[in-house]
């Protein structure tokens, strides 16, 4: 384990004691995927200063809720997260997490993507992220939005949690 004075105590605690990270968004909206996934779960240490980036290299598996499974699959590395909608109930999810906790081989399959690259942090310079998006937008397909307000608000309509609580 790295000894880094820049790493906040809460992240040290997570690294040392937990295998899973609840990356739950506060809304169930289309494409609503925030730093809860990227900064707190998927990124790797790359610049020696970004303490947020330690977690995934220590094999913390994010459990996600917010956007749809398909939307997460389009932006996250393959097999890098567990989506709550993959399970019929919180109990079924808990059973699966217990299984992963006891089965290192199955658990470690979620980290095979580590050998195929890293996720970069562009938050310090948002213009870099915009430039990157402009150059890669063709991968998402182009479309026109006649009303930004309707597009923004409708993104949260109709998305429901699979579980009946």
pLDDT digits (tens, 9 = 90+) for 78-101: 888 999 999 999 999 999 999 999
Domain that holds residue 20: 9-154
Looking at the domain assignment, is residue 43 inside a domain? yes
Looking at the domain assignment, is residue 2 inside a domain? no
The number of folded domains in the chain is 1
Instruction: Give dist(CA 133, CA 148) in Å, integer.
Output: 18
Looking at the domain assignment, is residue 139 inside a domain? yes
Looking at the domain assignment, is residue 1 inside a domain? no
Looking at the domain assignment, is residue 3 inside a domain? no
Looking at the domain assignment, is residue 163 inside a domain? no
> Given this model, what pLDDT does residue 13 score?
74
> Given this model, what pLDDT does residue 23 score?
87
Tell me, yes or no, if the pTM score tops 0.85. no
Instruction: Give dist(CA 87, CA 54) in Å, integer.
Output: 28
Q: How many helices (H) and strands (E) does the chain have?
A: 7, 3
Instruction: Give dist(CA 120, CA 52) in Å, integer.
Output: 12
Looking at the domain assignment, is residue 78 inside a domain? yes
Tell me the Cα Rg of the chain.
17
pLDDT digits (tens, 9 = 90+) for 128-156: 666 766 666 555 566 677 887 777 677 67
Looking at the domain assignment, is residue 65 inside a domain? yes
**Integer angstrom CA distances of residue 115 from 44, 85, 110:** 11, 27, 11
């Amino acid at each position: 384990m790295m000894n880094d004075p820049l790493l906040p105590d809460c992240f040290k605690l997570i690294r040392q004691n937990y295998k899973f990270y609840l990356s739950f968004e506060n809304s169930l909206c289309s494409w609503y995927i925030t730093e809860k996934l990227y900064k707190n779960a998927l990124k790797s240490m790359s610049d020696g200063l970004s303490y947020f980036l330690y977690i995934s290299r220590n094999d913390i598996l994010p459990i996600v809720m917010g956007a749809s499974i398909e939307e997460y699959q389009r932006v996250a590395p393959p097999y890098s997260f567990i989506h709550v909608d993959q399970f019929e109930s919180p109990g079924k999810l808990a059973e699966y997490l217990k299984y992963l906790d006891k089965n290192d081989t199955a658990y470690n399959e979620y980290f095979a993507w580590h050998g195929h690259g890293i996720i970069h942090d562009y938050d310090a310079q948002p213009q870099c992220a915009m430039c990157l998006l402009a150059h890669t937008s063709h991968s998402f397909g182009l479309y026109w939005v006649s009303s930004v307000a309707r597009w923004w608000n409708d993104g949260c309509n109709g998305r429901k949690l699979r579980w009946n609580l």
